[in-house]
Structure 1
Amino acid sequence: MTSFAFDANIIIDALLDREPAIVELERATAGGARAWVSRMAWIEVLSKGDGPAVHAAQDYLANFQIDELDAEIAARAATLRRERPRLRTPDAVILASAQVRGRILVTRNTKDFPAEMPGIRVPYTL
């Protein structure tokens, strides 16, 4: 079974009740699969909004497994930054987390994660 890691933009869209994000999360978790999020994307999600929105995001994120930043992910993120100097560190960590753990990164950020890049899924754009 393929596992999926979600970028912050998809999770934020789901929190805003955007149907394409909700449909994508349901598709990825069909059959009992768990959705994953990197600690970096988790931080990005929780950095938006205020009191009630943050509490709602925390409750929502409790449904995800978290890929913690470790030495292997950090080393891969550093390599990605050397290979693609315009890639910001948070995005490098998010991509590295998915790559190191063998997950498909689900995102709508085609600027940093082109849809044709292996291991990337862009289910919709806004």
Structure 2
Amino acid sequence: MSGFSFDTNILIDALAGHEPAAAEIRRAVAFGSRAWISRMVWIEVLSKGTPAELKMAERLLSGFAIDEIDAEIGARAAALRRERSRLRAADAIILASALVRGRVLVSRNVKDFPANMPGIRVPYIL
């Protein structure tokens, strides 16, 4: 795996001041790699909030590189949904983005991304 990709819930937790989320982002950067998010995470984070909250979210998101949703990620997301019928499209895109680019997905969504699944890191549970 080459780097870390973050799920929406970790970023929302960091924005809410949850220190383990912020520490996980710092850990990834200290590891020497760029922190990444899927364009789907970007959409989810910026889909709700007051103007002040959105400004803070935009500041946080500016520190991440973004994996755009291309044909390869789309095809992998579709395959993931065929394999796991309960996986929502957004979660399939987020997982596919990490898998296709060879990154570890950092998430606390153990329902859709079990901790024992290869390529998944669950740093904490709320």
Q: What displacement does 1:111 show? A: 0.5
Matches within 5 A, 1:15-94: 15-94=15-94
Q: What displacement does 1:31 show? A: 5.0
After TM superposition, the score normalised by the length of structure 2 is: 0.97
Counterparts of 1:76 and 1:22, CA distance in 2 = 29
Counterparts of 2:96 and 2:73, CA distance in 1 = 6
Letter in 2 for 1:55: K
When structure 1 is superposed on structure 2, of 53-62 and 23-32 the one drifting more is 23-32
> Across the two proteins, how many residue pairs are aligned to each other?
126
Counterparts of 2:31 and 2:90, CA distance in 1 = 31
RMSD: 1.1
Aligned residue for 1:93, secondary structure, equals helix
Unaligned runs of 5+ in 1: none
Identity of aligned residues (%): 66
Q: What displacement does 1:33 show? A: 2.2
**Structure 1 consecutive aligned stretches of length 4 or more whose deviation exceeds 4 Å:** none
Residues 10-52 of structure 1 show CA distances to partners (whole Å, capped at 9, x for unaligned) of: 0111111101001111111005421000000111111121211
Unaligned runs of 5+ in 2: none
After TM superposition, the score normalised by the length of structure 1 is: 0.97
Aligned residue for 1:36, secondary structure, equals strand
